[in-house]
Amino acid sequence: MCHIERLSRRTFLAVAAATSLAARAGKSIPVGLELFSVRGELKKDLPATLNEISKMGYECVEFFSPYYEWTPDYAKQVRKQLNDINMKCYSTHNGMASFSSDGIGKAIELNKILGSHYMVLASAGKVSTIDGWKQVAETLNKGNEKLSEAGMHSGYHNHALEWKPIDGEKPMDVLAKNTDKSVMLQFDVGTCVEMGNDPVAWITNNPGRIRSLHLKDWAPAKGYRVLFGEGVSPWKKIFAAAEADGKVEFYLVEQEGSQYPELETASRCLVSFHDLHG
């Protein structure tokens, strides 16, 4: 990459950070970053990555499953840094181990240290029957009981699989019907749109439960490699529904990859969010 290109990107990031900081002033609903979006940078240097994300104007982050391997002492170090840079962690992404009888205690301890409100099950694994999805719902309910004692709740994050009907019934509908109302349905918009579903209808049909959204876009030609706002999702209608019926508490940008480096991608997506959301 030539010097002019590097300078151009530095300039963009600086301008984007200033724009994002100004745009978020007075906002009541925080916008954060699902850290899977910058997983390469995070693996190289977690503290430096958090600092860069904060400078962009993100207000919160969501840690994904590797956090489960942390010690409580390391989680306290991360929490201290979050406090120092005025960022929050409202939720974490988890595998089934975090909801197991042997693992939930550790997961709750780490989430309490981080200040998390929701422990989200990011994947249920290979589930192929309606009864299997009902068992997933029961796992979420049991986890929610324990989490409620600690002042938190469980949640579920959808992927494409949950929108594929089984015997005429969509797994997402099964999960919604068979989980306690306090279990959050964390809405990954991109996968819903990819599978041909109406994201606005999903929000309005599940009032009060869409308390967090993953702002991941999708387009037929590029799939998930489009930046936020460049796909086919009807974002303005989604925001309106989320803030009315869904009772959204925080937004999370998620990006699986783009033509830009991870941090620049995250910055561009945040600028687009403020352009679209206002």
User: Concatenated DSSP letters for 155-182?
Assistant: EEE--GGGGS-BTTB-HHHHHHHHS-TT
Condensed to tens digits (0 to 9), the pLDDT of residues 147-201 reads 999 999 999 999 999 999 999 999 999 999 999 999 999 999 999 999 999 999 9
What is the pLDDT, as a whole number, of residue 17? Answer: 46
What would the mean pLDDT of 46-54 be, rounded to a whole number? 98
CATH number corresponding to 29-277: 3.20.20.150
Whole-angstrom Cα distance, residue 80 to residue 92?
Answer: 17
Say whether pLDDT at 123 is over 80: yes
% pLDDT > 90, the chain = 90
Say whether pLDDT at 16 is over 80: no
What is the pLDDT, as a whole number, of residue 40? Answer: 97
Q: Is 63 helix (H, G, I), strand (E, B) or coil?
A: strand
Whole-angstrom Cα distance, residue 160 to residue 97?
Answer: 22
Whole-angstrom Cα distance, residue 4 to residue 161?
Answer: 44
Quote the mean pLDDT of the chain: 92
Read off the pLDDT band of 127 (50, 70, 90).
very high
The candidate with the shortest Cα–Cα distance to 67, out of 102, 93, 33, is: 93
Structural contact between residues 200 and 241, judged by C-beta atoms closer than 8 angstroms: yes
Structure tokens at 240: 């309106």
**78 beta partners:** none
Structural contact between residues 49 and 41, judged by C-beta atoms closer than 8 angstroms: yes
Structural contact between residues 220 and 233, judged by C-beta atoms closer than 8 angstroms: no
Strand runs (DSSP E) across 35-74, as ranges? 60-63
Domain ranges of the chain: 29-277
Between 63 and 1, where is the model more confident?
Answer: 63
Say whether pLDDT at 26 is over 70: no
Structural contact between residues 21 and 58, judged by C-beta atoms closer than 8 angstroms: no
What is the pLDDT, as a whole number, of residue 28? Answer: 85
